[in-house]
Amino acid sequence: MNPTSFEHIEAYLDGNITKQELEAQLTPDQLATLEEDIEWLKNSRIAVQAEGLRQQLKETLPKAKNKETKVVSFYSNKQQLYWIAASLVVLFVAFWGVYINDQSSLYEKHLYKDPGLPVLMSQSEQYQLYDAMSFYSEGNYVVAAQKLKTLQEETGATDTTNYYLGASLLYQDKPNEAIPYLNEVSEANSAFKQKSEWLLLLAYIKDEQLEEAKASLSNILSNEQHLFYKEAQELSQELD
């Protein structure tokens, strides 16, 4: 079970989200095993509860006869197996939570917020771009992304619109959507290439694509003149 889907299923079993909301947050692969994963988690939680009950009974009930003790022991051992499995799940989730928090802190620590282009509305031929950038510079990345997408649909994509669209999506905490746009610019001979490479690396970290992040980091470290070379060195040590 994917740790992310584990958290969503936990929320569903706790009544914090509906079944539809749960399904909307899962990938097709996760949906294929959803019912099995729900049943497994239910059983694990029951096992944990059963172990708690067993401990209470052990403390309160008097000792039984030898024959009865053997029967209880059989079921107790079976419950212990469930308890061990459930405990491993809890430990895994706890470890994964620490890991995710660490990844998130790395992202926040090294995030570069591009201030945007100077807004010169007098240049009428670039009005749509500067209109989008006015929202971008104000930190309204939702509207900026919408306007940049509309601009691309009407006039075609450019390195400029791809870069700032990718940045706008990343700053909205949508790394998966941002990656294609940033990747497009990072592979081009563009004025935004190095900044795009850095944001792409951070997008991979945010999206928990660690192998891709390491590859992007290696690419930046291969160029000592890179705009983010020093930051990449520091990030490399922290990832290790």
Compute the distance between CA of residue 49 and CA of residue 69 in angstroms, rounded to an integer. Answer: 21
For 111-239, CATH gives 1.25.40.10
Q: What are phi and psi of 133, to 5 degrees?
A: -70, -25
The CB density around residue 111, as the number of other CB atoms within 10 Å, is: 14
* Per-residue model confidence (pLDDT) at position 82: 53
The CB density around residue 2, as the number of other CB atoms within 10 Å, is: 15
Q: Find which of 33-42, 50-59, 110-119, 174-183 is predicted with most confidence, using mean pLDDT.
A: 174-183
Domains of the chain by residue range: 3-61, 111-239
pTM of the entire structure? 0.59
Compute the distance between CA of residue 116 and CA of residue 133 in angstroms, rounded to an integer. Answer: 7
* Per-residue model confidence (pLDDT) at position 65: 46
pLDDT in tens, 6-49: 777 878 888 888 888 888 888 877 777 888 878 877 777 776 66
The region, left, alpha or beta by phi > 0 then psi within -120 to 50, assigned to residue 61 is beta
pLDDT at 64 over 60: no
